[in-house]
Amino acid sequence: MIVCDGSNGAGKSTLIKSIEGYLKSKKQKVLVTREPGGTPIGEGIRHILLNPDTPEMCDTTELMLFAAARAQHIQEKILPNIQDGRIVICDRFDSATVSFQHYARGLPLSLINQLNEIALDGFRPDITIILDLDPLIGLERVKLRGEGLDRLEKQDMEFLNRARDGYLKQAENDPEHFAIIDASQPIKKVESDVFDILDKLLMS
């Protein structure tokens, strides 16, 4: 499974479409999904988690909802499609929970790891591609799209910067399973860097 993660507004959606097209050109079967979401239960949880009208949610509730959506996602959608021979591309995954709930929120990493282990049930992505971008630039991009900000995007800049640092630290600690891509580059350069990663993955 390939995960695209990183700062909001970094271009994940655009890149995921490019990855999907590239893999299909290599005659691969592909499934695109997202977190939180990907299943009817997960999409319901997503609405609760990202709805800007629920600012009163406590940090532990937020963490457990992400874990619940992930457990359902794994069992209902991700594993069956991998077993059917598809390459799954996911918009965000467990790396996001570590970044946002530990590094940004300050919840204990041991708790987050424990819940992730339960939800993942031994599964882990082949590669997590981190699109790294200054959160301030990312938010400007989101606003230019004319979309309202979700509950997490409305957090202060210090929170978003801590989440960015969390992604970078995860990649530093596990270079075998993470790749950092400079999302401030032109999209064609971003795609080229990512396609090089995918080629190595397909050959492994």
pLDDT, tens only, 36-75: 999 999 999 999 999 888 778 999 999 999 999 999 999 9
Q: Which of 183, 187, 190 is nearest to 168 (CA)?
A: 183
41 near 166, Cβ under 8 Å? no
What average pLDDT does the segment 171-187 reach? 95
**More confident site: 54 or 90:** 90
Quick one: fold of 2-203? Rossmann fold (3.40.50)
Q: Mean of the per-residue pLDDT values for the chain? A: 94
pTM of the predicted model as reported, rounded to 2 decimal places: 0.93
The pLDDT value recorded for residue 47 is 93
> Domain ranges in the chain?
2-203
The pLDDT value recorded for residue 180 is 97
